């Protein structure tokens, strides 16, 4: 078990976690953590020992130049950082890692141990998967929760997925077995434009995260970046008739599958988000 010394006392902390690799199509979920780390000026808390969980022939360390002359080695690992969002009376712990290559059960035990020491009782796991959703439509966000009460309170469903899983699924399951609440949010990334970054999917995750946690999320330039990304994909698709026809087929299939009430729910959720932001701006 890892040794923890000198950790600060946090106020009603919540964990937001994402991992690079299999769970991170278009780097959409790790992009959320990177964005929040920068926007909230998060401070390091602890890093796991990379020797315990990474095969360096599979996930290799990286050489960096610090002053143009001195080389340093950055080892693959999982780090936790502390942030206090402006105007919010609680701490947020950001977990940013690379999916481990081995000893997943011990890895999850370490994360849960750290969370207990920090007083974390709720974790939100972020992921992104490749899907046949068209890039021209709102990004679908799938979700799940560790118990029915939590699912109802956050308007999510209990997962019924069966099949291969990544560290996000294993860690969420471990949280549930340990008696801690955990939520997962997954963005659907178009498989025909999978290369990172995907700011539209990152933005969709941030907005859903704001709804679930009721914590204002800094969006920065993501709105404009998402529009620019979509325009760029439109241009690429227009240059290939087969791709353009495929996108049109996906659009028609998506539009036919969506019920009118689903669109009404989306409008209502967007209006509620607007009211919350207006009230916060008024209070400040």
For the chain, list the domains and their CATH numbers: 14-223 (3.40.50.10900), 240-283 (no CATH)
pLDDT of residue 38: 96
pLDDT of residue 210: 95
pLDDT of residue 148: 86
pLDDT of residue 267: 55
pLDDT of residue 279: 64
Residue corresponding to tokens 């020491």: 117
pLDDT of residue 71: 87
pLDDT of residue 252: 85
**Enclosing H/E stretch for 115:** helix 104-118
pLDDT of residue 69: 78
Phi, psi dihedral angles at 60 (to 5 degrees): -85, 145
- Torsion, Cα 78 80 81 83, to 10 degrees, reads 130
pLDDT of residue 65: 86
Tokens for 214, please give them.
Answer: 């009721």
| Mean pLDDT per 10-residue section of the chain, whose length is 284 residues | 75 97 95 97 94 95 85 93 94 97 96 95 95 91 89 80 91 95 95 94 96 94 96 91 90 76 56 61 60
pLDDT of residue 253: 87
pLDDT of residue 274: 58
pLDDT of residue 14: 97
pLDDT of residue 129: 93
pLDDT of residue 284: 57
pLDDT of residue 255: 82
pLDDT of residue 160: 75
User: What value, to the nearest 5°, has the Cα angle with vertex 28 and ends 278 and 47?
Assistant: 100
Tell me the whole-structure pTM to 2 decimals: 0.88
Cα end-to-end distance, the chain, whole Å = 44
């Amino acid at each position: 078990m890892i040794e923890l010394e000198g950790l600060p006392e946090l106020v009603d902390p919540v964990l937001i976690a994402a991992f690079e690799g299999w769970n991170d199509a278009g780097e959409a979920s790790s992009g959320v953590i990177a964005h929040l780390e920068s926007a909230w000026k998060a401070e390091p808390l602890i890093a796991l020992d990379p020797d315990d969980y990474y095969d360096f022939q599979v996930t290799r360390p990286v050489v960096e130049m610090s002053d143009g002359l001195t080389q340093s080695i950055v080892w693959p690992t999982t780090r936790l950082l502390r942030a206090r969002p402006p105007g919010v009376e609680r701490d947020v712990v950001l977990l940013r890692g690379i999916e481990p290559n081995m000893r997943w059960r011990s890895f999850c035990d370490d994360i849960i141990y750290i969370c207990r020491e920090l007083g974390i009782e709720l974790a939100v796991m972020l992921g992104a998967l490749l899907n046949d959703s068209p890039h021209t439509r709102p990004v679908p966000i799938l979700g799940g929760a560790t118990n029915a009460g939590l699912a109802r309170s956050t308007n999510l469903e209990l997962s019924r997925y069966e099949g291969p899983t990544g560290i996000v699924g294993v860690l969420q399951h471990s949280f549930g077995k340990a008696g801690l609440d955990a939520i997962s949010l997954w963005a659907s990334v178009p498989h025909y434009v999978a290369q990172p970054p995907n700011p539209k999917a990152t933005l969709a995750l941030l907005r859903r995260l704001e709804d679930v946690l009721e914590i204002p999320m800094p969006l920065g330039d993501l709105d404009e970046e998402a529009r620019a990304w979509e325009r760029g994909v439109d241009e690429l698709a227009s240059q290939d008739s087969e791709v353009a026809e495929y996108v049109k087929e996906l659009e028609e299939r998506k539009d036919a599958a969506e019920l009118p009430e689903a669109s009404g729910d989306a409008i209502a959720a967007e209006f509620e988000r607007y009211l919350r932001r207006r009230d916060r701006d008024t209070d400040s």
